[in-house]
Amino acid sequence: MRLQRVMPALVAGFHAKTTRRVAGKGANRFARAWMAGTSPAMTAGWFLAIAFLTPPAIADEAFVTAQGADALSIVDLSKMETVATLPIGGKPAGIAVSRDGARAFVTSPEGKFLTVIDAATRRIEKRIPVEGGPLGVAASPDGKRVYVADLYGRRLVEIDLASGAQRSVGVGAMASGVAVAPDGKTIVVADRDDNALSLIDAATFSRVATAPVGKHPFGVAIDASGARAYSANVESDDVSVVDLTARKLVATLKCGSRPYTVALAKGRIFVANQHGDSVSVFDAESLAPLETLKVGEYPEGLAASRDGARVYVANWFSNELWALDAQTLKVVGKAETGDGPRAFGAFIRETE
């Protein structure tokens, strides 16, 4: 039986709803529009009461937001197996794991909140209200602050985790992906409907520049040196390379259909192509195309292990997380996840 799956405009990164008929299992999946007008009246205590989880593992893990399941799937990457499921609510999408692996942060655009999770014990610490449409999320290198893109409010929100204080800075229309430079000094936000990236000075929390990119940038990444930012541009089917010192576009890489996210590993650029069911791979130095890898249905979230040996891709329609060898470009593992894995952000947790 062929089933119709519809992605709402704001999630897909383009205005008109896209419809795709695919052979598959289960019932119709409809990821509801963010502005559904509902806000779950649930408390952090309720979440804790129902979160029956397995004991924490010592292997590296993937924290995968499963939007259809309203949950977070935690995958043991040594076994490529989902070992825990944590109810979140509010149609979770964005994810950021702190660099020390201590906490994970999940955005719920429909619920208008950020969930803070103790990653080691897999317990919810608290839920922080964030007005508008919280989507992209990133943590400061020291783990003391979290940055959340408000899809509807043309702003980036900074949350001080110790005090709970929030402040915001204006960015472009439909703020989507967020990335923080390794030194924590620069924050990059994808301004989807402005076809640009906003560059934020973290110390003053002010927008210091904008850089025009391709059409409808969504996912963003910054290289290990903090020299370049990369945006996946959903409607122009390309990736923009931005020099962060010069604050300007320096290259455009054509890739597959509807690129959504970018990850960097082993001197290579990896791009998840939603409609292509593929990942495009480029050489990061020469920017030459290397390969196009077939993956699962509707790949979205993309992240690399810290050593760069593996790249992980969350496939929204096939409910799977795939592991790719960043050097050989071979598929080396697959894991089932909760329904509708998005994993939009830095979702890999290292335990050592």
- What does the domain layout of the chain look like in residue ranges? 2-29+60-349
pTM of the model: 0.87
Topology of the domain covering 2-29+60-349: Methylamine Dehydrogenase; Chain H (2.130.10)
**Average pLDDT estimate for 197-201:** 98
SS3 121: coil
CA 159/CA 189 separation, integer angstroms? 16
Percent of the chain scoring above 90 in pLDDT: 82
> In terms of DSSP bridges, do strands 2-7 and 248-254 run parallel, antiparallel, or are they unpaired?
unpaired
CA 296/CA 300 separation, integer angstroms? 10
pLDDT digits (tens, 9 = 90+) for 29-71: 333 333 333 333 333 443 443 444 445 545 799 999 999 999 9
**Average pLDDT estimate for 76-83:** 97
Q: Which helix (H) or strand (E) holds 46?
A: helix 44-50
How far is CA 272 from each of CA 143, 238, 343, 346, rounded to the nearest angstrom?
27, 11, 12, 14
Lowest mean pLDDT among 8-12, 171-175, 241-245, 305-309: 8-12
Q: Which helix (H) or strand (E) holds 116?
A: strand 113-118
SS (H, E, C) 174-228: CEEEEEECCCCCEEEEEEHHHCEEEEEECCCCEEEEEEECCCCEEEEEECCCCCE
**Average pLDDT estimate for 315-323:** 98
How are strands ordered across the β-sheet holding 103-108? Answer: 123-129, 113-118, 103-108, 94-97, 344-346
pLDDT at res. 351: 85
**Average pLDDT estimate for 147-169:** 97
CA 67/CA 92 separation, integer angstroms? 5
Residue that wins the pLDDT comparison between 109 and 21: 109
pLDDT digits (tens, 9 = 90+) for 212-263: 999 999 999 999 999 999 999 999 999 999 999 999 999 999 999 999 999 9
**Average model confidence (pLDDT) for the chain?**
88
Angle at 140 between CA 137 and CA 145, to 5 degrees: 80
